[in-house]
Amino acid sequence: MAKSISSDKILYILKTRGPQTAQSLAGMMDMTSMGARQHLQTLESQGLASTYDQIEKRGRPSRYWQLTPQANTRFPDRHNDLTIHMIDAVKKVFGEEGLDKLIIERENKSREVYREALAGNESLLDKAQALAAIRTDEGYMATVEEDEEGIWLYENHCPICEAATACQNFCRSELEVFSDALGDDVDVQRKEHIVSGARRCSYLLAPKG
């Protein structure tokens, strides 16, 4: 049981923080490098992790561990809510116009929920954290960080990835909902996109002007 919990934690770290060395994982999990490596090798044998070597500034190349596409099956998935078959069916029965109406309806409902959740939060950081909490509940594994460029909203998982790949308007819709929920004085830019092959989606939030 403990071994399973440790492996699940490693999967979570690789999903939310990207590729790591066995040593760095060991430090995060308070275990030996050998122990972390054993868990990683088990994940590799299950097809959930793979390695690559990266040249560092000094010394020999370091071996990094990363998730495989198959590992995404271990994370929250909402394909039951929004499937490729449903999208195809809507297109066939109602055409592209019907699909656009469906997206707009979903957009309006999300906008109401997000506005309510962000109400009462004064600072942009508080709003971003409230938005991240909602998105995490929806399966996006969202986190917030702040640096000199502004505030970053990171989404480490896309529970509707296949649907978004089949219809890019779902992603366009989410970007518009974020902008609306955060307010007219906030500029929202998508910098990374899972659908385009990135490890995560990232959004830079910054005050306009």
Burial of 155 (0-12, 13-18, 19+ CB in 10 A): buried
Distance, CA of 188 to CA of 15 (rounded, Å) = 24
Taking Cα atoms as reference points, which of 46, 45, 40 lies closest to residue 19?
40
For residue 1, is pLDDT > 50?
A: no
Is 159:139 a contact under the CB 8 Å cutoff? yes
d(CA 155, CA 194): 9
Report the pLDDT value the prediction gives residue 162, as an integer from 0 to 100: 63
User: Is the C-alpha dihedral spanning 193, 194, 197, 199 positive or negative?
Assistant: positive
Q: Mean pLDDT of all residues in the chain?
A: 85
**Number of H-type helices and E-type strands within the chain:** 7, 6
208 pLDDT higher than 90: no
205 DSSP β-pair partners? 151, 188
pTM: 0.67
DSSP 20: B
The CA-to-CA distance between both ends of the chain, in Å, stands at 53
Burial 33-46 (b: 16+ CB within 10 A, else e): eebbbbbbebbeee
The continuous run of DSSP H or E covering 172 comes out as helix 169-182
Domains of the chain are: 2-74 (1.10.10.10), 86-207 (3.30.1380)
Q: Can you tell me the mean pLDDT for 147-170? A: 78
Per-position DSSP letters for 43-85, written without gaps between them: HHHTTSEEEEEE--SSSSPEEEEEE-GGGGGGS---TTTS-HH
Is the pLDDT at 137 greater than 80? The verdict is yes
Question: pLDDT confidence of 92, banded at 50, 70, 90?
Answer: confident
